[in-house]
Amino acid sequence: MDITGQRAGLYALISRIFLSEMDPDTLSAIEGMESFNTFFPDYSRWDIRNITDRKTLVERYLNVDYTDIAIMHLIPYESFYTTEEAMIETGGANPVVSVYNEYGYRVDLDRARVVSPDHIGVELEFMKILCEAQQKAEKAEDEKAAVDIKEIERGFLKDHLLRFAPMYLINVAEQARTPFYKDAAKVALEFLLEDYEYLSGR
């Protein structure tokens, strides 16, 4: 089993969910996943979902909820949780910019539609990129490179995502009004914790 490929897929999934509003096509893809019922147990049984078409569901329920948990009331940015003054750092002093720069990546904030590169969705996508790099190293049988990349992944989780994502995701799980985001938050949190254990060799 290609664990690294699965990990990259999971990071892609949760990154997408928290980075922008849902759309009917993506939702259809999620609902079509084999593990949909496992990942989204409450959402899959949600009565409203069963009587509403996807477009309406997205527009009337999911996106309203997303606005609430990701734009208006909860703050999905690392620096908000980690700076003393609880301000989002939008400039060059943002804690993840130097990490991205170090590996030659730049965040297209316009495309991401976020105010700074330490948004949870962006950081999750960065993890996906690292996993894909690891996957390539494994395919090339470059064991040392694969181990080095795993170490980078572990470091990034420890120094960045795990410093704030659990707080944010717990809040989402508590405050979201739709089972979709409640389920997604639980999935994301559990996966992050488990992946960290995995990377730590436990």
Partner 1 sequence: MFLESRRNFLKGTAATVATAVAAKGVFSVIAETPAEAAATAGFTDTPKTLQFYPPLSEWDDFKELDGEDWKRGGISRKGVQTPENPDGIRVNDYVIVPTVCSNCEAGCGLTAWVDKNSLTVKKYMGNPLHSASRGRNCAKGYGTWSQMYDPDRIPFPLKRAPGSKRGEGKWVRVTWDEAMKDIGQKLSSMLKKGDEISKKMFIYHVGRPNENGFGNRIPHTLGVDGYDSHTNICSAGARQGSIQWANDDRNSPDWANAKLIFLQSSHAADAGHYFQQSAGLIADARKRGAKMVVIDPRLSNSAGMADLWIPAWPGTEAALYLYLANRILNEKGKNGEDLIDHEFVKNWINWKKLMKDKEYLKLMLDRKYISKMPSDESYESFIEMLRELYAPYNLDFVVRECRLEGQEYKLEKLFEMVVDAEDKIATYMWRAGTIGHRGGWMNTRSAFLVLALRGALRGDVGGTSWHHWHKASVNGKWFDAVESDGKKPPKVEVWNEYPWPPEYPLATYELSFLLPHLLMDEEWKEKWRKRGFKIPDKLAVWVPRMYNPVWINPDGFRWIECLKREDLMELTFNLSPTWSETNWYCDYVLPTGLAGERHDQQSEPSKPEKWVAFRQPALRVALEKMGWKPKDPTRATLEAHMKAGLGEIWEEVEFWANLIVKYVDPDGSLGIKKYWASKEDPSRPVTIPEFYQAAFSLLPNLKRAAEAAYPNSKYPCYEFMRDRGAFTEETNIYKPQEEEVEFDGEYYRVHGHRYHKSEVIKDDEGVLWVESKGHRKSIGVEIDGKVYQGFHTPDKRLDFFVDWLKEYQWAEYAIPIYPRNENERKEMIHLVTHVHHDYMRADNEFALNTIYRLPYMIHTRSVNSKHLMEISVNHNPVWIHTSDAKRLGLKRGDKIKVRIVDTVSGLESGYFIAMAVPTEATRPGVLACSHHAGRWKLKNAVEIPGFEHKLGVMGVGAPLYEMSMDGKVAKMRAKEGIKEGVLKREESWQFKNINKDLDNIWWDGLTGAWQNAVAPVHPDPIAGNHAWHQKVIIEKAGAEDRLGDVYVNYENNFKTYQAWRDKLTRPLNEKIKYRRPMHMPRPAVPLSEKAYLNPMYKSDHEEA
In the chain, the amino acid numbered 115 is V
Contacting partner 1 within 45-104 (CB under 8 A): 91-93, 97, 100-101, 104
d(CA 134, CA 145): 7
Question: Is 149 one of the binding residues for partner 1 (CB under 8 A)?
Answer: no
Looking at beta carbons only, is 51 or 168 nearer to partner 1?
168
Looking at beta carbons only, is 1 or 72 nearer to partner 1?
1
d(CA 66, CA 81): 20
Tokens 């494994």 correspond to 138
Contacting partner 1 within 117-146 (CB under 8 A): 121-122, 124-126, 128-129
Question: Is 151 one of the binding residues for partner 1 (CB under 8 A)?
Answer: no
Is the Cβ–Cβ distance between 79 and 95 less than 8 Å?
A: yes
Among 7, 49, 160, 182, binds partner 1 (CB under 8 A): 7
Q: What's the DSSP call for residue 92?
A: T
What is the three-class DSSP state of 63?
A: helix
Among 57, 99, 107, 133, binds partner 1 (CB under 8 A): 107
Number of residues that bind partner 1 (CB under 8 A): 56
Cβ burial, residue 95 (10 Å; 0-12/13-18/19+): middle
d(CA 112, CA 70): 13
Closest approach, Cβ 59 to partner 1, in A, equals 19
Looking at beta carbons only, is 21 or 68 nearer to partner 1?
21
Q: What's the DSSP call for residue 103?
A: T
Give me the DSSP letters along 159-174: IIIHHHHHHHHHHHHH
Looking at beta carbons only, is 49 or 119 nearer to partner 1?
119
Binding residues (CB under 8 A) for partner 1: these are 1, 3, 5-13, 15-16, 19-20, 26, 29-30, 32-35, 38-39, 91-93, 97, 100-101, 104-112, 121-122, 124-126, 128-129, 170, 173, 186, 189-191, 193-195, 198
